[in-house]
Structures are given as C-alpha cells and as structure tokens.
C-alpha cells in the first residue's frame, strides 16, 4: 500500500523549480539568517537552511549571537538587514532565548523581506486574501495535500492546533484552496469525532502521537506537522523524531499520509527558498 506522501521528493522538486528561477534572474537573491543562542535543534535547522539556500544558487548570510544577547542587539541586526539593499529575505530563527521578546523582534522585520510570513503585514494580507509572503510550514502542507489529492475544493479540512506560527495560518491557507475548514484545539469537544470528519486532517499540536488511527476517516489525507523529540527506546540516551500522529497505525487507515521525518519538514525549507525568490523579484522589479 503506497499511501505515503514523500515530502523529501516533493521538496526536491520545489527546490529544483526555485533553482531554475534563480538561474534565470539577473541578480542573486540573498537570505539572511539570524540565530541567537545554541539550541541544538535550531542549529540543525539553520545549517540546513543555509545549505539549501546555497545549493539553489542563492547567497546566504548568517548572523550568530550568543544566548546572552540583548533585545537591542538583536533588533540592531534586524534593522541593519532591513537597510541592506543586497538582502532580500530575513529569517530570525525561533524560539529566541526566554529573556527576548520575539514578537517585538519580528515586528522590526521589513515586511518586504519577511520570508517567514510572520509579520503583522504578512498575516494581515493572508487574512484579507491579498497576495503576500505566506508562512512556510502551512505553504508546504498545502503543497503536499495537493500532491496527494489534486484540487482541494470542497474538501473538509480539520486543522488541529491554533498556533500563530502554524495552525491559524494553515487554516486560512486551506480556506484559500476552497476547503471547508474547521479549527480544532485543546478545548474542542469530541476531538476524535471532529477529526474523523476530515477529508484532510492537519495535525499541528506538538504532542507526540496524539492523533490515533481511530481519529482518522478511512481514505483521509493526513498532514502531520508535528516534530517531537522523544527518547529512543532502541538507543538509550538518544532521541528520535515523531509526529503528532500515531503514524504506524494511522497509515493503514489513511488514503495518504506524511511521515515524520521526511514529510512537512523538508517542505518548510523549500518554501522558505521559494519565498526568498518571490521577495527578491518583488523588491527588485
Ligand atoms: N523554528 C522552527 N520552525 C521555524 C520556522 O519555520 N521559522 C523560524 N523563524 N523559526 C522556526
């Protein structure tokens, strides 16, 4: 039964399209990444973002600050990147250390360079249905659902989770695809029943294996956005990644399902690269 949605393969295709677009441009788009502190997961993400930025023919700039950096220091870097005409995209890797105010840092990013789609301007454009830079993980989720189902019009999409970074924008982006959208969350009654009514079930709660196979309608498309580090049973002292869905059991019920790792994760980076090209084209036209 081959119902796996291969995020790695779709991401490779997306990067290939980005690389061709970059090659056809008279300029080299530049992505600036700001990393504060030494969170191991963030370091891996940033390394991959830089690697793929360069592999697709773009330039990357990396700004690393110690975990002790002040709000003023981080804001000063963002302002300098805003003012740098060579920089097309600015990504501040989250989470920032606890003593920093992430919202205030994000608010400093020039919306024309907001490749993460996190500023108020980008969020407002999404709500208003205007073109703009969309958040990367929800964009990747929509692309994967379309890879499995084609046109999404009229599908019932249940988004489990209402975070600013993922759940809320994902709901709006599936709405843009003409889905009928339900947002479910920790206060929703009868979660299993609500989830089982989904043609497309998008899990974005950050709780390992919370979504059971009984929550999945037979033949549904399951997009698992969770990336949870849990202790490995086979290798004591080590961690492994699991999604928000009990993948092994849900796979036998779903019509199509994304694995973790290898599903939405690679798409997030591919969509970041796509946004960088879009930002470069819009800014420099
Ligand atoms: N940390 C985990 N995912 C992301 C992301 O998509 N963007 C940023 N800026 N930080 C993250």
Q: Is the ipTM of this complex over 0.90?
A: yes
> How remote is the CA of residue 21 from the centroid of ligand 1, in Å?
24
Query: Exactly one of 88, 113, 114, 116 is catalytic; which is it?
Result: 116
Q: What is the pLDDT along the chain (285 residues), one digit of tens a residue?
A: 589 999 999 999 999 999 999 999 999 999 999 999 999 989 999 999 999 999 999 999 999 999 999 999 999 999 999 999 999 999 999 999 999 999 999 999 999 999 999 999 999 999 999 999 999 999 999 999 999 999 999 999 999 999 999 999 999 999 999 999 999 999 999 999 999 999 999 999 999 999 999 999 999 999 999 999 999 999 999 999 999 999 999 999 999 999 999 999 999 999 999 999 999 999 887
Q: Which CATH architecture has domain 28-116?
A: 3-Layer(aba) Sandwich (3.40)
Radius of gyration of the CA atoms of the chain, in A: 19
Q: Is 227 annotated as a binding residue?
A: yes
State the pairing for strand pair 156-160/180-184.
parallel
Residue 254 — φ and ψ, nearest 5°?
-70, 155
**Positions of CATH 3.40.50.720 in the chain:** 136-265
Which ligand 1 atom is at minimum distance from the Cα of 94?
10
Q: 144 in ligand 1 pocket by Cβ < 6 Å?
A: no
> How remote is the CA of residue 214 from the centroid of ligand 1, in Å?
31
Q: State the maximum Cα–Cα separation within the chain, in Å, rounded to a whole number.
A: 54
**Positions of CATH 3.40.50.10860 in the chain:** 28-116
> How remote is the CA of residue 247 from the centroid of ligand 1, in Å?
23
Q: Which residue lies with its CA nearest to atom 3 of ligand 1?
A: 94
Residue 177 — φ and ψ, nearest 5°?
-90, 10
Could you confirm whether 116 is annotated as catalytic? yes
Could you confirm whether 249 is annotated as catalytic? no
| pTM of the predicted protein model | 0.96
Q: 25 in ligand 1 pocket by Cβ < 6 Å?
A: no
At the topology level, CATH places domain 136-265 in Rossmann fold (3.40.50)
Strand segments, DSSP code E, in 149-265 are 156-160, 180-184, 200-203, 221-224, 228-231, 239-242, 256-257
Q: 276 in ligand 1 pocket by Cβ < 6 Å?
A: no
């Amino acid at each position: 039964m081959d119902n796996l949605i291969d995020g790695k393969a779709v991401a490779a295709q997306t990067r290939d399209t980005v690389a061709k677009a970059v090659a056809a441009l008279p300029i080299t788009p530049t992505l600036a990444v700001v990393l504060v502190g030494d969170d191991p997961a963030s370091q891996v993400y940033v390394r991959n973002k830089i690697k793929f930025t360069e592999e697709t023919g773009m330039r990357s700039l990396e700004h690393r600050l110690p975990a002790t950096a002040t709000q003023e220091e981080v804001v000063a870097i963002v302002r300098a990147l805003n003012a740098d005409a060579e920089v097309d995209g600015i990504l501040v890797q989250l989470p920032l250390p606890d003593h920093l105010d992430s919202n205030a840092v994000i608010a400093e990013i020039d919306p024309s360079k907001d490749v993460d789609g996190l500023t108020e301007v980008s969020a407002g454009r999404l709500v208003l249905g205007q073109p703009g830079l969309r958040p990367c993980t929800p964009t990747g989720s929509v692309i994967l659902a379309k890879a499995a189902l084609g046109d999404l019009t009229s599908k019932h999409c249940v988004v489990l989770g209402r975070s600013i970074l993922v759940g809320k924008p994902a709901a709006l982006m599936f709405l843009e695809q003409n889905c009928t959208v339900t947002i479910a969350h920790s206060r929703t009654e009868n979660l299993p029943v609500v989830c089982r009514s989904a043609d497309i079930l998008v899990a974005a709660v950050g709780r390992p294996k919370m979504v059971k196979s009984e929550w999945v309608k037979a033949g549904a498309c399951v997009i698992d956005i969770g990336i949870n580090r849990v202790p490995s049973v086979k290798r004591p002292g080590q961690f492994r990644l699991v999604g928000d869905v009990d993948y092994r059991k849900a796979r036998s019920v779903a019509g199509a399902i994304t694995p973790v790792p290898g599903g939405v994760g690679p798409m997030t980076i591919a969509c970041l690269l796509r946004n960088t090209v879009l930002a470069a084209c819009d800014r420099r036209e």
